[in-house]
Amino acid sequence: MASPQPLAASSSDAALIAAWQAGDERAATELVRRHGRALARFLAGGGAREADVDDLVQETFIRAFRAVGKFRGQCQFRTWLLTIGGNVLKDAGRRAARDRVVPLDEALRDRDGDPHEQAVAGEAADRLQEGLARLPRMQREVFLLRAQQGLAYEEIAAALGTSAGAARVHYHHAVRRLKEHLE
């Protein structure tokens, strides 16, 4: 029995997918290492609670690995993964809407660091999150894929099932609405 070929960090996503499908668990590990942080940033930017991000990343990879046979390479693997992540986030939002949240007591909150800087940064982050939450779903997803993930409009269009021109328009409207909200 021949020993498996070593995985190169420079292996393409397509090569890693093929290796994983052939039974090489290291390929799945490399895909998670390569795309996990970007997925976590996308989910957090999309409104996921900080405490839930790791679970949502894991759920996204589980769904992606189960459906990897449906990946046709029409877009980058990361784009496809972020699309699945968006669906996982929507599902989590539906579940959270049914759950009752009990806020923590103020005495339990972390108070380390410069209070003024924390207050200013916290207010800005809260206002941005509030602005993102007010955007229509498509504008929010286009904005996050473009501004946070740096995807091209063509990649965004492939991920969201729209045209590159429509993605540009959604991005423009999202930026305008966020600026208005932050002013």
> Each residue of 125-182: pLDDT tens digit?
788 888 888 889 899 988 988 888 888 888 888 888 888 888 898 998 998 998 888 8
Query: In 10 A of CB 45, how many CB atoms?
Result: 20
DSSP-derived letter for residue 10 is T
User: Would you say residue 47 lies in a domain?
Assistant: yes
User: Would you say residue 77 lies in a domain?
Assistant: yes
Sign of the four-CA dihedral 107, 109, 114, 120 = negative
Report the CATH number at residue 88: 1.10.1740.10
Of 99, 117, 152, the position where a domain reaches its end is 99
Mean pLDDT over each residue of the chain, to the nearest integer? 82
User: Would you say residue 107 lies in a domain?
Assistant: no
User: Would you say residue 29 lies in a domain?
Assistant: yes
Residue 112 backbone class (left: φ over 0; alpha: ψ -120 to 50; beta: rest) = beta
User: Would you say residue 73 lies in a domain?
Assistant: yes
Report the CATH number at residue 149: 1.10.10.10
Do 29 and 89 belong together in one domain?
yes
Do 88 and 163 belong together in one domain?
no
Of 64, 84, 99, the position where a domain reaches its end is 99
Do 92 and 22 belong together in one domain?
yes
d(CA 141, CA 44) in angstroms, rounded, equals 12
pLDDT-derived band at 118 (thresholds 50, 70, 90) equals confident
Domain that holds residue 147: 125-183
Number of domains forming the structure of the chain: 2
User: Would you say residue 2 lies in a domain?
Assistant: no
Answer yes or no: are the C-beta atoms of 59 and 43 closer than 8 Å. Answer: no
d(CA 90, CA 96) in angstroms, rounded, equals 10
pLDDT at 71: 82
Q: What is the reported pTM?
A: 0.58
Do 18 and 80 belong together in one domain?
yes
- DSSP letters, 33-68, are HHHHHHHHHHHHHTT--GGGHHHHHHHHHHHHHHTG
Answer yes or no: are the C-beta atoms of 111 and 122 closer than 8 Å. Answer: no
Of 65, 99, 133, the position where a domain reaches its end is 99
